[in-house]
Amino acid sequence: MTWSPSVTEIDWAPGDGIRGMPILLKDNIETFDMPTTAGSMALIDNAPGRDAPLVARLRAEGGVILGKANLSEWANIRSSDSISGWSAVGGLSRNPYALDRNTCGSSAGSAAAVAAGLAPAAIGTETDGSITCPAAINGIVGFKPTVGLVSRTHIVPISRSQDTAGPMTRTVRDAAVVLTVIAGSDPADPATAEADAHRVDFAAGLDAGSLRGQRIGVMRFLTGYSTGTDLVFEENLRALEAAGAILVEITEGPNRGAIGGAEFAVLLTELKVDLNLYLASTDPAQVSTRTLADVIAFNEQTPRELALFGQDIFVAAEATEGLDDPDYIAARERSFRLAGPEGIDRMMADHDVVVLIAPTTGPAWSIDVVNGDNYLGSASQLAAVAGYPHLTVPMGFVDGLPVGMSFIGGKWQDQQVLSFGYAFEQATQARRDPEFAPSVDRMEAVAPLLRPLQ
């Protein structure tokens, strides 16, 4: 993590709003006063002296940018065998609840820092799960807005179809406060053309009673990450009912295998196109790698970059043929249609529900530098591919490790999703601070069970 102003200069307390709020930025978001590396040594000197529009909005409203937080290198799009939370520049981010556990990715440092109390808010970015997974696994709130609500300009990209920035905080209210500031149209990002029409005071719209009488779709096909997670989820379904929600069982969803295959084809093509455009916008005196092909070559010549895992996804992306490729066009149409109109939209309409819920993901897995991630699945794909809002809120613990509840809505239903998550948060108050245990077997919830019976 790199730091900007001294924390002794900051005077902020919960409830103060954005003015004076200390905020960390994922290190793929540009600021005029710090390098932006995406965790890669290829961008170690990338300091173009400009603020991303979302950063300019934060500064204009009095937010205090503390510095940059580590991330999974290149937002976790380099290798299929990656270690989430690791980058060549930042090293390994660790989970504050148990230091031998993974942070998930790619907004790993953003989530861990907020969980650890280093800042009340951070900005992460998501293409598919990169806000919601680390937020859930680190026991905080994470919100992936509708794609197009927040500018992506001057953020190191993966996908024009799926990328968005969003807030990561300890409370839903703080997430809503931050979103209110960073949302809005940006002439340089065509995806945000409608953003001003959908930008409201998201915090003012929060209602602790908003679940009362509402039909909530329970996506049973997105459970099963772990037995412990499912048990916590069941307990929280009862809490939702106690808050007045009407639960509607949804046992079947869209074909996630078909969505995933098409999504990956889209991401490979857009990664090459959009990363090449970003690299071309940097200062050649600071960044010698001008294309994805250059980055691949740089990594091959830089032992630290490939010492733990490779770059097979980069290589596959380099082989793609651009945005005019008929296979890419078909893949994007198919992935969006299956996830959005025939996925989230159809489930909500067919079951007459106002929001969809599921466990966000399972508890954090052990850090394994030999075998990479042991990722068991998550609820992120449908909202990510469709570009729809997805909120995760802490719902409890599995053997001392936090897990989250996902709230997913339709396009531009950001306000409603936040309000339902806020009502759930107020009813359950599930979050608690981490204990920074060296390992799970040393945690208060687990350690006594491992000792002999006296």
Catalytic residues: 26, 106, 130
69: β partners: 26
Maximum C-alpha span of the chain: 70
Calpha distance 122→307 (Å, rounded): 29
> What distances in angstroms separate CA 242 from CA 172, 209, 245, one per listed residue?
20, 11, 7
* Cα dihedral 346/352/354/357 (nearest 10): -70
Taking a C-beta distance cutoff of 8 angstroms, is the pair 125, 29 a contact? yes
The Cα–Cα gap between 246 and 101 comes to 36
Preceding amide of 106 cis, omega within 30: yes
Distance CA 395, CA 306 (A): 37
* Tokens at 29, concatenated: 């978001």
Q: Could you write out the DSSP letters of every residue in 139-193?
A: TSEEEEPPTTSB--TTB--S-TTT-EEEEEESSHHHHHHHHHHHBS--TT-GGGT
Tokens found for residue 19: 């003015």
